Amino acid sequence: METQKFSYDNGIVRAFLYATVVFGLLGMLIGLTVALLLFYPELPEFLFGTDDLTIKSLFSGNHLQGLIATQGKFGYGRLRMMHTNTVIFAFVMNGFFAGGYYSLQRLLKTRMWSDTLSWVHFWGWQLMIVSSLVTFMYGINTSKEYAEHEWPIDILILIVWLIFGINMFATIAKRRVRHLYVAIWFYIGTWVAIAMLHVFNNLEVPLTFGGWKSYSAYAGVKDALVQWWYGHNAVAFVLTTPILGLMYYFLPKAADRPVFSYKLSIIHFWSLIFVYIWAGPHHLQYTAIPAWAQALATGFSIMLIAPSWGGMLNGLLTLRGAWDKVRENPVLKFFVVALTCYGMATFEGPLLATKTLNKIGHFTDWVIGHVHVGALGWNGFMTFGMIYYLLPIMWRTKLWSTKLANWHFWLGTMGIIFYVVPMYISGFTQGLMWKQFNPDGTLLYKNWLDTVSAVIPYYEMRFVGGLFYISGVVLMCVNVVATVRQGSFQKNVPAEAPALARISNSRKEGEGIHLWIERIPVLLTVLSLFAVSIGGFFEIVPTLTIKSNVPTISAVKPYSPLELEGRDIYIREGCNACHSQMIRPFRDEVVRFNGKNGQYSKAGEFIYDRPFLWGSKRTGPDLQREGGVRPSSWHFKHMLNPRVTSAGSIMPRFPWLIANTLDRSQLVDKIVFMKDVYDVPYTKAEIDTANAWADHQSDHIVKQIYSEAADVKEEFAKRKAEEGSKFVPLEKREIVAVIAYLQRLGTDIKTTEVKTASIK
């Protein structure tokens, strides 16, 4: 057989590796800032200016102009989006691409099919990351968790993903190895699943093709089902399967041992990608989605334990006979702890999917702790181990400092412990305090701030854990730079392998069925697509296509133009990161959040919500019944300074909402769009008088504010006298639109009858 000479492209691997390190550090710095804001919400005031005499600021003078000038760019809601997306798409995915490009070439004994496509992929992906950071900073987002990118960036992601897929499959087609190794199965499954999830979850229609704003193709319950089908499986196919592919390649290489069990690898792959896709609705337990979808998700979530632990054990048992190396080799240390964290997270996840634990853990910091076992331990440590493995090989030198790598390992491990354990305690504390009643049937902790105050020490401990973790990352950066400087990088690595002889695709006599599938990439891809799509089809299609699955409520009316503008501002500021809009059928939630209505949330309430805003974490109280509970002047002052209306609040300030003039240029276009595209029942008269409708509503709200708060009325009268013709009346400002939206929430349901599905 003719031996062919070729070379591996290490240049593209180096580029993705550098991007992984840079964006990893950036994403974690943003995350550390987000953690700090949860117990030091005055940080923006300290940095940019304040009128609060109790707070020291870097700027002299008692004014808010510096903070107003930021326009919320450094607010909690926007930073949280920037943190999660940078860690997921910039750190983890760049790490996957670095390891994927390195391992694909060596497993297939060929160079990537197209160097040009490799670099288009690299620069396209980095452009997406930078665009995301900029748009999120400016409040341009869809609010859909892990999918906050607006429509132009969604299209960019799809194009770049297709380019990566073309290059990967074309490389597989010209391989010099007959059978595809298990790591490549996971790469293929990842590509297929992410393409499907991204397309269907991000179906949206732009308000105009010249602007950023779009509205989801799904509304309310349907949007929630599709989003968490995507959200949970983003965890599956962005944060799990590609990293498992890296594990199956780099762990045996680092340990110099073959994978423990080929058969277990087969079971792990097919059962994982089939079962995972069904489990998404477990994020929506006790919500307004159909009960059968909740039950189905619980069952499949519990089944997930088996394939997940099968993969973990396959990895750990690969180290049989090599455990002595773990003591000396920092790469293996990182891999072992990563697999352990993977096992912990994939055991805890199914437990949280059960209704018994979900009613305690959901909306609490328990979920944050659970997520970070996977993010910090599984994703972070696998990526760090891969980086330490690649550095000496690619730069043909020894790692500059093994001691520094070991310090990174121990600092990272301490960081995980100090982060996760306080979040577990905080979550248990929140979940139990929310549900406590006095003997007379009143809530023991009626004031939401009681639970907020109770968990502040755990937020501080979590911040310390973040400092430990990021300190280790800084040491890694030092090690990377020093190793690169002392080494000699070889961009094109010479290699040779015999050409692959052509044989029939038909199955040979005595050939195992999976061996046959492994040498037919098209068949493997089609079967993977079937495995990952069937769950979504059976769970989501019925709800999308059968109208009776989302019963309507005749009293629920579309948002007014001003309320719709306020809702868009609410999304812009990322308010849904802290406030849910979903009252579950528990006695404590109905009593705590009943407003004037005494009802838990019904599916028909959300038919005009594009996107849905049910949230996944309650840092502040639920707002689904907020309308009419508090006077408009309270909301005005709460946005100006939450700590004036709610002592001890950790909510950020929003003074720019009061300073900004509401942009009404698309007010009419939005309701015309809703009517024409989504058949929202606005009448012609309502459309023709949309601006007058908004004027009337804003006038009414301002009259309320002025009648309730004389100090506010006096302040605006003073501003009018000072500014003259430049003065913008309060009626024309953004804050009024936000108040209009908040005062609308839950007011369509008018009953005092309390119905609950559970007493606690």
Tokens of 295: 């039950």
Number of CB atoms found within 10 A of residue 613's CB? 24
- Kindly list the distances between the CA atom of residue 649 and the CA atoms of 41, 645, 674, in Å, as whole numbers in the listed order: 8, 9, 36
Helix (H, G, I), strand (E, B) or coil at 141: coil
* Three-state SS annotation for 304-369: CHHHHHHHHHHHHHCCCCCHHHHHHCHHHHHHHHHHHHHHHHHHHHHHHHCHHHHHHHCECHHHHH
Strand pairing class (3-9; 492-498): antiparallel
Helix (H, G, I), strand (E, B) or coil at 403: helix
User: Is 579 among the annotated ligand-binding positions?
Assistant: no
- Kindly list the distances between the CA atom of residue 424 and the CA atoms of 366, 418, 449, 455, in Å, as whole numbers in the listed order: 5, 11, 19, 11
Number of CB atoms found within 10 A of residue 256's CB? 9
- Find all residues with CB under 8 Å of 491, minimum gap 6, and list them: 9, 10, 11, 14
Are the CB atoms for 128 and 561 separated by under 8 Å? Answer: no
CA distance 409 to 471: 10
Helices 632-640 and 710-723: angle between axes, nearest 10 degrees: 60
User: Is 700 among the annotated ligand-binding positions?
Assistant: no
Burial (CB < 10 A; 0-12, 13-18, 19+), residue 594, is: middle
User: Is 282 among the annotated ligand-binding positions?
Assistant: yes
Burial (CB < 10 A; 0-12, 13-18, 19+), residue 615, is: buried
| Closest to 254 (Cα-Cα) out of 94, 405, 480, 91 | 405
- Find all residues with CB under 8 Å of 68, minimum gap 6, and list them: 655, 656, 659
Can you say whether the dihedral through the CA atoms of 59, 62, 67, 69 is positive or negative?
Answer: negative
Whether the bond between 611 and the residue before it is cis, its omega within 30 degrees of 0, is yes
Tokens of 586: 């528990």
Are the CB atoms for 135 and 572 separated by under 8 Å? Answer: no
CA distance 726 to 432: 52
User: Is 121 among the annotated ligand-binding positions?
Assistant: no
HSE (CB half, 13 Å, CA atoms) of 607? 22
CA distance 279 to 295: 10
CA distance 693 to 557: 15
- Kindly list the distances between the CA atom of residue 347 and the CA atoms of 98, 306, 343, 353, in Å, as whole numbers in the listed order: 29, 9, 6, 10
HSE (CB half, 13 Å, CA atoms) of 677? 19
Instruction: Quote the distance between the C-alpha of residue 620 and its chain's center.
Output: 19
Binding-site residue numbers are 83, 232, 282-283, 370, 372
Binding-site residue numbers for heme b are 83, 370, 372
Binding-site residue numbers for Cu cation are 232, 282-283
